[in-house]
Copies of this chain bind each other. A is one copy, B any other.
Amino acid sequence: MSKLITVAQAAKELKKADNILILTHAYPDGDTLGSGYALCRALHKMGKSARVECSDIIPDKYRFMFEDMGPAEDFEPEYLCAVDVADSLLLGDKLKTYAESVDLCIDHHGSNTRYAKKLVLIPEYSAAAMIIAEIINALGVKIDSGIAACIYTGIATDTGCFKYSNTTSYAMRMAADMLDYGINSEMINRTMFDIKSRARIELERMALESMRFFLNDRCAIMLITHEMIEKSGAGEEDLEGLAPIPRQIEGVHVGVTMRERQDGTYKVSIRTDNRADASSICSILGGGGHVRAAGCTVGGPAERAVKTIVEAVRSVID
C-alpha cells in the first residue's frame, strides 16, 4: 500500500535522489511518454542522471520528445519512478522486474493499485503530465520548450486535443502556458491526431464498407475481420481508435465495433451517446465498462454475433 504524498513532497524526494530510472507503461501513449521525458529533462537540468524506459518500442511519432537528448544515460538505477502507470502489471514484460520496487509513482488514474512505496495521485487531473509540470515547478527547474512540448503532448493526447469531457479549464490553461514556451503545437497535434498510415486508411475504408445499420438506424455495427487486417497490412498500432467511428454517424445512439479474434469469438466495443447506456448493454452480454464506453466478448459466427448484439441493444434502448 503506497504512502500518499503531495507534489511538494515528491519534489523533495526527487531532489535527494540520483540515478533515477523513469518507468512508463507498456503500449506507451502521449501521456506516459510526455510525463517521462518532461521529468527526465528536468532532472538532467538539475545535473542528475536519469533515463526513461518502456517495455515496448516507442512509436516514431513520439521521437520529437527525446531526439535532441543524445543516447540514454547508462547507470545502475538507484531510484525508480513510475509515471502514468496505474498498475504494476502495466509496466509490461521488460520492466516487470521492477514491479515490487518502485519508489515513487506519479499518476492521475483513480484506479491506481498503490503498488509503489510512495504515490502522488491526483485523479481530478486530465493527464499525469499536469502533475509532472507541478513537480518540475516545485523542483525549481525552469520549464523550456523541450519540457513544454512533452507536457503539452501529455495533456493534448489524454484529452483528445481538448475535446473530451475530462478537459478541465486548468488543463487548458496549463496547455496555454506550454504554448508560451514557444512549442510547435501544430506539428505536435498533426503528428498525434492527423497522420495515419496507408494500412490504417485502407483498413478504415474496408471497415466503413462493412458498416450495417439496425433498429431504425439508431445502432451501427462495424466489423473488422482477420482478412481485413491482413489485406490492409495493418499493425497493432493501426487498430487503435477505431471504436468511436460507428457512433460518429448522425442519428446513431449505439456504435458497435466487432473485431474477430483468433479463436473465432469477437471482441466487441460499444460506444453510446447520452441516449443509451453502453455498460448496461455489455453487462447483458457478459462484459462491462462505463456509461458511454464498454466492452464484451461474443461468440461467432459473425451473423449470430450481430443478432445477439442487436437484441441486447434493443432491450436497452427500447
Chain A residues within 8 Å of B, Cβ to Cβ: 161-165, 167-170, 172-173, 175-177, 179-180, 185-187, 189-190, 193-198, 201-202, 204-205, 208-209, 211, 213, 217, 244, 248-251, 273-274
Q: Which one of B164, B173, B186, B197 contacts A173 once the chains associate, using CB atoms below 8 Å? A: B173
Q: Which one of B179, B186, B209 contacts A205 once the chains associate, using CB atoms below 8 Å? A: B209
Contacts of A204 in B (CB 8 A): 208
How far does the alpha carbon of A23 sit from the alpha carbon of B164 in the complex, in Å? 32
Contacts of A190 in B (CB 8 A): 163, 273
Name the distance in Å between A314's Cβ and chain B's nearest Cβ.
20
> Can you pick out 29 interface pairs between chain A and chain B where the beta carbons lie within 8 Å of each other?
A161-B161, A162-B162, A162-B172, A163-B186, A163-B189, A163-B190, A163-B193, A163-B194, A164-B186, A165-B185, A167-B179, A167-B185, A167-B186, A168-B179, A169-B176, A169-B180, A173-B176, A176-B176, A190-B273, A194-B244, A195-B249, A196-B250, A197-B250, A198-B213, A198-B249, A201-B208, A201-B211, A201-B249, A205-B209
How far does the alpha carbon of A198 sit from the alpha carbon of B202 in the complex, in Å? 19
How far does the alpha carbon of A164 sit from the alpha carbon of B188 in the complex, in Å? 10
How far does the alpha carbon of A217 sit from the alpha carbon of B201 in the complex, in Å? 14
Q: Which one of B162, B195, B213 contacts A248 once the chains associate, using CB atoms below 8 Å? A: B195
How far does the alpha carbon of A248 sit from the alpha carbon of B192 in the complex, in Å? 11
Contacts of A186 in B (CB 8 A): 163-165, 167
Chain B residue with minimal CB distance to A173?
Answer: B176
A172/B163 contact (C-beta < 8 A), A196-B249, A201-B208, A205-B209 known: no
How far does the alpha carbon of A132 sit from the alpha carbon of B182 in the complex, in Å? 27
Name the distance in Å between A251's Cβ and chain B's nearest Cβ.
8
Contacts of A274 in B (CB 8 A): 187
Q: Are B189 and A179 in contact (CB under 8 A)?
A: no
How far does the alpha carbon of A250 sit from the alpha carbon of B200 in the complex, in Å? 10
How far does the alpha carbon of A208 sit from the alpha carbon of B205 in the complex, in Å? 7
Q: Are A176 and B185 in contact (CB under 8 A)?
A: no
Q: Which one of B185, B193, B249 contacts A197 once the chains associate, using CB atoms below 8 Å? A: B249
Contacts of A211 in B (CB 8 A): 201
Q: Are B161 and A194 in contact (CB under 8 A)?
A: no
How far does the alpha carbon of A171 sit from the alpha carbon of B24 in the complex, in Å? 32
A172/B161 contact (C-beta < 8 A), A195-B248, A196-B248, A205-B208 known: no
* Residue of A193, A248, A251 with highest tally of chain B CB at under 10 A: A248
Name the distance in Å between A23's Cβ and chain B's nearest Cβ.
29
